Amino acid sequence: MEPMTYVLFGATGDLAKRKIYPALYNLFVDGKLPPSFSIIGLGRRELSNDTFQSQVEQSLRQFSRRSANAVSSSDLNAFLSAFRYHPLDVNNTEDYRKLLQLVKSREDELNMKSNRLFYLSVAPEFFDVIALQIKESGLGDTEGWKRLIIEKPFGHDLSSARSLNAKLSEAFEENEIYRIDHYLGKSMVQNLETLVLANPVIQAVWNKDHIANVQITASETVGVEERAGYYDNAGAIRDMVQNHMLQVLMMTALHLPSQITPSNIKDEKRKIIQSLQPINKPEAALSVVRGQYASGSVNGKDVPGYLEEPGIEATSKNDTFVAARLWIEDPKWEGVPFYIRTGKRMSGKSTRIVVEFKNPTKELYLSRNEITSPNLLVIEINPNERVSFQFNGKNFASNGNLEPVQLSFNAEQDKLPEAYERLIFDALRGDATFFAHWNEVELSWQWVQPILEAFEENLVPLHSYEAGSNGPEASDQLLEEDGFEWWLDP
Ligand code: BG6
């Protein structure tokens, strides 16, 4: 791997401490950082290099999956000595010039070619300002590569996403922009590609002839937490559906490419999102369910309703739950509903994909008054990482009655790299497979836009659901209309 400078905007923020420093540290310990590298942290405050380095060390001790004590102190010191701090006001051109001098002097000191990665761990309203300043200050003029990493949200709706992208494109080429969607860093989401594409038996049944429906759930037990300002303007539709849920849907529905390459996967994902049947604003209520949590009990603890949460207006109509029925208009998936569902303050934390297969043998045992259960393939993404297959068997402890049996492959392995480790490593070596590309982001916004407007204009009823439940009943009805039900815990 080539030497590089990692320029981190927002170096004193929460994400840097919890995720980015531990990820870099684990990459270093695993020998996955280049032999020469320089890390420059930026923030508004004045900080000495020593103080900054000890803050980084503290965050490793607190948040790294691998304790800082598990590494020799000389390795730890070598890692920390790569860090420098530079105070920067994102709007001040002069600060960027000084930053360029620091970046260059470190490159000279370490005798490194200039490859620069700019990581914007800051509020999204600063993305365009920073990108343009990088260009104008000369920070973006490198002998080698330059890359930009940003985190969602990429825009607030279709038009703001387009205008943000247009500004970013003035400073960076599309292939230099790495948009993190941390769901794409999760091991089971990355594994989907192999599970579905590299197994001929699964490929043979991965289509409308055998699949009855697909259910993608991301339920959470947490509420709005300390993010009222952001969340009340975003809602589940922007926070989870436009990005994570649609990305997981694309990864699930991919067609088999001739070869697995980053660009083939990107093309196949684009084809899926492009084939999503639009949900028109006037009919949104037929396919989309919107909910907001009321008070209730989660994991045995009483919790307030959304409207009682600090920082939330008592009249807020924000969605904390969304379920929807989607159709992919291509011959492979014709007639197969894809259901998505995400919500805060639900009964359990679970991110999973359930693929329900058609069941032509349902009535095979009717003479014995028994029916068979459909085969299910369950891919658990979080907090468990497991794949299980449900089939029918006989239970001889109860007179040989039919019983659904699960065969499961537990993918959980201790001390696996975290999502951020995998994603930062990929960005450093220039592999964009598991990042959100602009056309996917734009097409996702395009699909979501009429729903945003329908919510705004109150064309979709806002159902209340009790905290600790599985969401509003309307979301069960959505599946009942098609003769299905949510598989909660098969
Ligand atoms: C984030 C959302 O992107 O994903 C949060 O902003 C949500 O609201 C989180 O809680 C869920 O991520 P995970 O990895 O816990 O499923």
Would residue 170 count as lying in a domain? no
Q: What whole-number distance in Å separates Cα of residue 160 and Cα of residue 127?
A: 12
Q: How far, in Å, is the centroid of ligand 1 from the Cα of 382?
A: 11
Do 194 and 77 share a structural domain?
no
Domain contains 17: yes
Does ligand 1 have an atom closer than 6 angstroms to the CB of 392? no
- Residue 152 or residue 443, greater confidence: 443
Q: Calculate the CA 352 to chain-centre distance.
A: 13
Quote the pLDDT of residue 124: 92
The answer to whether residue 414 scores a pLDDT higher than 80 is no
Question: So what's the pLDDT on residue 412?
Answer: 64
- Judge if 356 and 448 occupy the same domain: yes
Active-site residue, from 86, 156, 244, 437? 244
343 closest CA partner among 452, 476, 219, 216: 219
Give the range among 65-69, 271-275, 284-288 with minimum mean pLDDT.
Answer: 65-69
pLDDT tier, 234 (very low <50, low <70, confident <90, very high otherwise): very high
Q: Is the CB–ligand 1 distance for residue 380 below 6 Å?
A: no
Please compute the mean of the pLDDT values over residues 111-116 and round it to a whole number: 97
Does residue 351 have its Cβ closer than 6 Å to ligand 1?
yes
Is it the case that residue 49 has pLDDT exceeding 60? yes
**Per-residue confidence (pLDDT) for residue 398, from 0 to 100:** 82
**pLDDT confidence of residue 490:** 46
Mean pLDDT of all residues in 42-49:
96
Answer for the pair 225, 368: CB distance below 8 angstroms, yes or no.
Answer: no
HSE (side-chain half, CA atoms, 13 Å) at 312: 28
Ligand 1 geometric centre to CA of 143 (Å): 37
Q: Do 188 and 147 reside in the same domain of the chain?
A: no
Verify that 257 and 211 share a domain, yes or no.
yes
Q: Which of 19, 121, 154, 182 should be mutated for ligand 1, with most atoms under 8 A from CB?
A: 182
Establish if 426 belongs to a structural domain.
no
Question: Which of 98, 129, 151 is the last residue in one of the domains?
Answer: 151
Asked whether residue 468 is domain-assigned, the answer is yes
Q: What band does 489 get if pLDDT is binned at 50, 70 and 90? A: low
Question: Does 15 count as an annotated binding residue?
Answer: yes
Would the pLDDT of 300 be above 60?
A: yes
Q: Are residues 143 and 236 in the same domain?
A: no
Residue 428 confidence class, pLDDT cut points 50, 70, 90: very high
Residue 425 within any structural domain of the chain: no
In this structure, are 129 and 191 located in the same domain? no
Asked if 219 and 119 sit in the same domain, the reply is no
What value does the mean pLDDT take over residues 460-483? 98
State whether the beta carbon of 239 lies less than 6 angstroms from ligand 1.
Answer: yes
Domain boundary pick from 131, 151, 171: 151
Instruction: State the residue range of the domain holding 375.
Output: 184-418+438-481
d(CA 10, CA 86): 11
Is 181 touching ligand 1 by the criterion CB < 6 Å?
Answer: no
**CATH number of the CATH domain containing 351:** 3.30.360.10
Tell me whether residue 239 is annotated as binding: yes
Same domain for 93 and 194, yes or no, is: no
CA 218–ligand 1 middle distance (angstroms): 9
Percent of the chain that is helix, strand, coil (3-state, to 5): 40, 25, 35
Q: What are the pLDDT digits (tens) for 94-104?
A: 999 999 999 99
User: Does 178 map to a domain?
Assistant: no
Alpha carbons 177 and 109: distance in angstroms, whole number: 28
Q: What is the CATH number of the domain that holds 110?
A: 3.40.50.720
Between CA 19 and CA 418 the distance in angstroms is 9
Q: How many domains does the chain have?
A: 2
For the stretch 165-178, pLDDT in tens is 999 999 999 999 99
Whether ligand 1 lies within 6 angstroms of the CB of 385 is answered as: no
Question: Does ligand 1 have an atom closer than 6 angstroms to the CB of 220?
Answer: yes
Please determine, for residue 413, whether its predicted confidence score (pLDDT) is greater than 80: no
- CA–centroid distance, 222 to ligand 1, in Å, is 10
275 and 218 both lie in a single domain: yes
Is residue 90 part of an annotated ligand binding site?
yes
The question of whether 255 is a catalytic residue gets the answer: no
Do 98 and 189 lie in a common domain?
Answer: no
Cβ neighbours of residue 262 closer than 8 Å, sequence gap 6 or more: 431, 432, 433
Q: Which of 151, 171, 206 is the last residue of a domain?
A: 151
Q: Compute the distance between CA of residue 131 and CA of residue 323 in angstroms, rounded to an integer.
A: 36
Residue with tokens 């709706």: 157
Same domain, 244 and 353: yes
- Judgement on whether residues 218 and 365 belong to the same structural domain of the protein: yes
Residue 158 lies in a domain: no
User: Does 10 show up as a binding residue in the annotation?
Assistant: yes
What distance in angstroms lies between residue 378's CA and the mean position of ligand 1's atoms? 21
In a domain, 489, yes or no: no
Give the residue whose CA is nearest to atom 2 of ligand 1.
239
